[in-house]
A and B are shown apart, each in its own frame.
Chain A
Amino acid sequence: MRIGVVTFPGSLDDGDARRAVRLAGAEPVRLWHADADLHGVDAVVLPGGFSYGDYLRCGAIARFAPVMTEVVAAARRGVPVLGICNGFQVLCESHLLPGALVRNEAQRFVCTDQRLVVENADTAWTSALTAGSEITVPLKNGEGGFVADTETLDRLEGEGRVVFRYAGPNPNGSLRAIAGITDERGNVVGLMPHPEHAVEEGFGPTTDGLALFASVLTAGLAAVGA
């Protein structure tokens, strides 16, 4: 399986995302922001970082990068797309996921090993996890507070589209402690914490993050088999 990792100007974690893809047993493919071509990949990762310097709003300018037209079209066809941190912000700005990410409530950049509760293990990116279980992966953001209006929050909860929730104290003021969400079909997932930094023994707090990248291998095979 070939998984594309997009590099925007200011992307920071594209290298780690490619490494996570490789360690999960897939082939990482570099995708360039200015190239309106997904090169036939089976899934796409939008990595963390500070695309376009976080100017205007986080993810706001990246949303209009040529590659995003293709990512949005692929996501609507059911291709698995994972947005991590800045990638989550890009997915919200692209309207592939509802809500927005705003500056942390405590006005501080957070960098910590974060416990998360897995709320939905039926998405393309979480099928190798168990609903109700806890994982620990790094969290590092300045603008990670998830916000949406009450109606949207209720809909997300009602449809089981909250994928990860912060365990313990809320690190960034996210409404209802939401750390990650999915779209209606479960192929697009966005989360603020960084699973790609927790994929190898000795590097990062756990290897819990590997399960997200392993999950999509199954999703990909299912799609091919169908």
Chain B
Amino acid sequence: MGRVVIDVMPKPEILDPQGKAVVGALPRLGFDAFTGVRQGKRFELEVPGEVTPEVLAQARAAAETLLSNPVIEDVVSVRDAAAGEVASA
């Protein structure tokens, strides 16, 4: 069984209130090294066989159609989990 991993992040210019809340909580726990946090999403898409170029192309299309909203988010990467290789960024 193969797995495609997709990362989606809020666009840099879009305010990320979740990240803002997290960065506020970190120093309270003594984690004082971090000045910013942005929170995104990771999707794992399973396929019965190998992750072929066709599967990756379909995953990219799904990422751009359903899994992200281009107005507020960027698809950062679509990759084969086994290869760990970034197919496109």
Number of interface residues of A (CB under 8 A): 21
Most chain B CB within 10 A, of A56, A102, A145, A149, is at A102
Which of chain A's residues 30-72 have a Cβ closer than 8 Å to chain B? Answer: 56-57, 60-61, 64
Q: Is A147 an interface residue (CB 8 A)?
A: yes
A107–B71 CA distance with the chains assembled, in angstroms: 20
Q: Chain A 124-135 against B: per-residue CB contact (8 Å), 1 yes, 0 no?
A: 000000000000
Q: Which residues of A contact B15 (CB under 8 A)?
A: 102, 105, 145, 147, 173
Q: Is B20 an interface residue (CB 8 A)?
A: yes
Number of interface residues of B (CB under 8 A): 13
Flag if B17 contacts A57 (CB, 8 Å).
no
Selecting from A92-100, A163-171, A200-208, the interface stretch reads A92-100
Q: Is B18 an interface residue (CB 8 A)?
A: yes
| A56 touches which of B14, B66, B71, B72 (Cβ 8 Å) | B66
Q: Is A103 an interface residue (CB 8 A)?
A: yes
Q: Is B67 an interface residue (CB 8 A)?
A: yes
Question: Which residue of chain B lies nearest to A98 when distances are taken between CB atoms in the complex?
Answer: B71
Q: Is B87 an interface residue (CB 8 A)?
A: no
Q: Is A104 an interface residue (CB 8 A)?
A: yes
Most chain A CB within 10 A, of B13, B14, B17, is at B17
Flag if B17 contacts A105 (CB, 8 Å).
yes
Q: Which residues of B contact A102 (CB under 8 A)?
A: 10, 14-15, 17, 72
Q: Report if A99-B18 is in contact (Cβ < 8 Å); known contacts: A60-B66, A64-B66.
A: no
Which of chain B's residues 25-46 have a Cβ closer than 8 Å to chain A? Answer: none
A93–B68 CA distance with the chains assembled, in angstroms: 10
Flag if A147 contacts B71 (CB, 8 Å).
yes
| A100 touches which of B17, B20, B72 (Cβ 8 Å) | B72
Which of chain A's residues 138-163 have a Cβ closer than 8 Å to chain B? Answer: 145, 147-149
What is the minimal beta-carbon distance from A24 to any residue of chain B, in angstroms?
32
Flag if A107 contacts B17 (CB, 8 Å).
yes
| A103 touches which of B13, B17, B69, B71 (Cβ 8 Å) | B17
Flag if B17 contacts A60 (CB, 8 Å).
no
A98–B69 CA distance with the chains assembled, in angstroms: 12
Q: Is B21 an interface residue (CB 8 A)?
A: yes
Flag if A99 contacts B71 (CB, 8 Å).
yes
Flag if A92 contacts B18 (CB, 8 Å).
no
Which residues of A are at the interface with B, using a C-beta cutoff of 8 A? 56-57, 60-61, 64, 92-93, 98-100, 102-107, 145, 147-149, 173
Q: Which 3 A-B pairs have the closest CB atoms?
A: A100-B71, A107-B17, A103-B17
Which residues of B are at the interface with A, using a C-beta cutoff of 8 A? 10, 13-15, 17-18, 20-21, 66-67, 69, 71-72
